[in-house]
Amino acid sequence: MPSRARSIQARPHRQSLFTLLRPLRGGVTCIPSLDMDSRISPQPRRQSRGQPRSRPADSGIRCIRSPRPVATESHCRRCPGCSALLREEDEICATCGLRLTPPAPGSVEERALRAAHGSRTGKRGRAIRTLGGARSAAALKALETILTESDDEEETCDALRALSEYPTEVRLSWYRAMIAHPSPTVGILGRLLLIDAESKAEKERKS
């Protein structure tokens, strides 16, 4: 009996097999069921040439979409006030705050635009002053047209004063251009407005 115990201890695998196969009450032998399919992974199949390679569902591979193309200058427009790049759907320039949409029909700005191109001098002067506070691309274009084409000294001075509400780059360029105007009054006003605009721009840079 001691020799048998020593042999069982020396060979533990036989002991475990003996324990599993020992008969139970009633003469039934306990044999454990082994799930061989769960322990042995099947070998991958070889795919024939010309067939698309299948991707396992649980491979962990995720598709990454390509980033959205960056808008270039060819797909954008420039702000007429500060020359910043804008998208086609932008309504207001984020840099200078200039409104890019056309005025609503029947609005004060729309009536001022029509009066600025009219023939009555009194209405033209009031319309120019109204366009100064509009801060829109359409109003800026109308003021630039007056500065370029008008021969009336008073209207030109009104248009120069109306530019005070618009971006600094636009004002400085027009003030410098009006210094050489044939009218001495317009030239002096352009020089004074240029000095004032440059001093304000310098204070803004320092602050």
pLDDT, mean of each 10-residue run, the chain (207 residues): 50 49 49 47 54 53 45 70 87 90 91 83 84 91 92 92 90 93 94 93 84
Domain at 108-206, CATH from 1.10.8.50, 3.40.50.620, 1.25.10.10, 3.20.20.140: 1.25.10.10
pTM: 0.60
Name the amino acid, one letter, at 40: I
From CA 155, how far away is CA 148, in angstroms rounded? 11
- Among candidates 198, 178, 197, which has minimal Cα distance to 189? 178
The residue ranges of every structural domain in the chain are 108-206
For residues 165 and 133, the answer to whether their CB atoms sit within 8 Å is: yes
From CA 8, how far away is CA 119, in angstroms rounded? 122
Instruction: Provide the token pair at 196.
Output: 């004032």
Chain centroid to CA 87: 9
pLDDT on residue 121: 66
Q: What is the DSSP letter of 86?
A: E
Q: What residues are paired with 99 via a beta bridge?
A: 92, 136
